[in-house]
Amino acid sequence: MVVDSVITGGTLVTADGTVDAGLAIDDGTIVEVGVEGSLPDAAETIDASGQLVLPGVVDPHVHIDDHVSLDTYQTATSAAALGGVTTFIDFAWQGYVGEESRWDEPTRLSEGVEAKRSNAGEALIDFGLHGGILSERSEIFDEMSSLVDEGITSFKVYTAYEFGLSNGFIHEVMDAASDLGAVTIGHTEEGDTCERLTETLKRHERSDPSWYPLARPDYTEATAAETLARYAREIGAKYYGVHTSCAKSADVFERYIEDGSLIRAETCTHYTTLTDDVYETQGQLPVIAPPIRGERDVDALFEALATDTLSVVSTDHVAQTQEAKTAGHWWDGPFGANSVQRSLPVFHDVAVNERGFSYPFLVRKMCTAPAETFGLESKGTLDPGTDADIVLFDPDESWTISAETNASRADYSIYEGREVTGQVTRTLVRGETVAEDGSIVGDPGHGEFVARSRPNWSV
């Protein structure tokens, strides 16, 4: 038997450990793992000497080609591939009408799913979709069952912004999702409180970006996180809290996870690698909601990651231009920052190089746990029989981040000028090399929509 390719000479890293071994790939699938002499003959041999061989990163929280992000699927998946991300989960939206809306009339969530799936011809990596619920229209409850059957097995709700939902409607969504075996995802900030605090700061002309974190303080995040976590416990629902930024919210999740509730939560690369002094040094570019917090919060987030209170590290990638981010005052510009291209090397540099966490820890938080959490059964692992989504990573290469090499449409980076050690050298998606040595070598359209299963959180 001659397989398509073998990867030899490297150190394989899984969520459970490391081993000096190789693996064989055929027809897009990992077919064997073993020492070099035991692997089958191959049409191509990929030399991974001196490098780590990781499962592809699974980023379950990105915003692409929509009302908050300028990236197309080609630019975003190119950035992802260069950063070692082989699968991400984007959002399909239920259109709503409002002052900040891009829609002229309400649209059904199923229409949003169809629109996002039509981007597959541009994608270099695989992608899934969450369903985003932006208005309190009862038709959503007629759609959810068929969407779950199509592989949209998670639904996002907001407690803030003009498309934030009432607690009562969120409770209904969570109950309906639970009946279907789906996951409810929550962006949790006390929207009304944040709006009033923002108005107070505006009234007192606190326009310097260093004031921004006071508009969305940690307790507004933790209060809303507490509400949705309690709903999930009482209903018996699967609930996933996004972009946990502070110790107070991590404490909330710790309490509910310890009692056996079906609750999971993530943090993001920027919350674990930056502190709130970025608002003094970078101005409005890092204006993200929730805000980047202080050093004590960063330490608390790593403690929560170590205990699995927080099980996933995502990016919450949003592409905007520097011009848009810096226009007007901090309360005028769009939220979000791009980071899907930089997340793995930046988090690696802090978590492994600076804080001494292991490589299996890195793989668990960025590859295996997100795949398991969201029903991506063939992703996030190097097990035979799963997709050959693989990253070759040089742990010793030092380099400096510059937005000049962004594949995203975003023309800035909140990590600009940062020197990191550790670099992606090659990314394979289902056995095909899509990025190598800082260049895209794959073809748009190789990426596919992945229908996700209903995840089993009882194990």
Render pLDDT for 325-379 as a digit per residue (tens, 0 to 9): 999 999 998 999 999 999 999 999 999 999 999 999 999 999 999 999 999 999 9
Rounded Cα–Cα distance for residues 452 and 20 (Å): 32
What value does the mean pLDDT of the chain take? 97
What is the pLDDT averaged over residues 136-152? 98
Q: What is the pLDDT of residue 258?
A: 86
In the predicted structure, residue 453 carries a pLDDT above the cut 80 = yes
41-64 average pLDDT score: 98
Coil, helix or strand at residue 419: strand
Asked if 232 and 203 count as a contact pair (C-beta separation under 8 A), the reply is: no
Burial class (CB in 10 A: 0-12, 13-18, 19+), 197: middle
Q: In the CATH scheme, what is the code of domain 55-373?
A: 3.20.20.140
pLDDT band at 417 (very low <50, low <70, confident <90, very high): very high
CATH 2.30.40.10 positions along the chain are: 2-54+385-395+423-440
| Alpha helices (runs of H) in 14-83, residue ranges in sequence order | 73-82
CATH 3.20.20.140 domain residues, the chain: 55-373
222 contacts 246 by C-beta, under 8 angstroms: yes
Sheet strands (E) in 290-449: 312-314, 390-400, 419-429, 432-436, 439-440
Q: Could you tell me the two tokens for 433?
A: 């090399």
Give the strand pairing for 312-314 and 263-268.
parallel
Coil, helix or strand at residue 285 = coil
Strand 85-93 and strand 57-59: the pairing is: parallel
The 3-state DSSP class for residue 87 equals: strand
- Positive or negative CA dihedral for 101, 105, 107, 113? negative
Reference 240, options 162, 309, 319, 184; nearest CA is 184
Q: Among candidates 86, 20, 6, which has minimal Cα distance to 50?
A: 20
Please give the average per-residue pLDDT across 63-83, as a whole number.
97
pLDDT at 202: 98
Total number of residues shown for the chain: 459
State residue 238's pLDDT score. 98
Q: Residue 459 pLDDT more than 80? A: no
Contact present, 125 and 448 (Cβ < 8 Å): no
Spell out the CATH class of 2-54+385-395+423-440.
mainly beta
Bridge-based pairing of strands 22-26 and 11-13 is unpaired
Contact by Cβ (8 Å): 367, 54 = yes
User: What Cα–Cα distance (Å) separates residue 85 from each residue in 56, 133, 246, 424?
Assistant: 6, 26, 25, 10
Contact 38, 77 (CB under 8 A): no
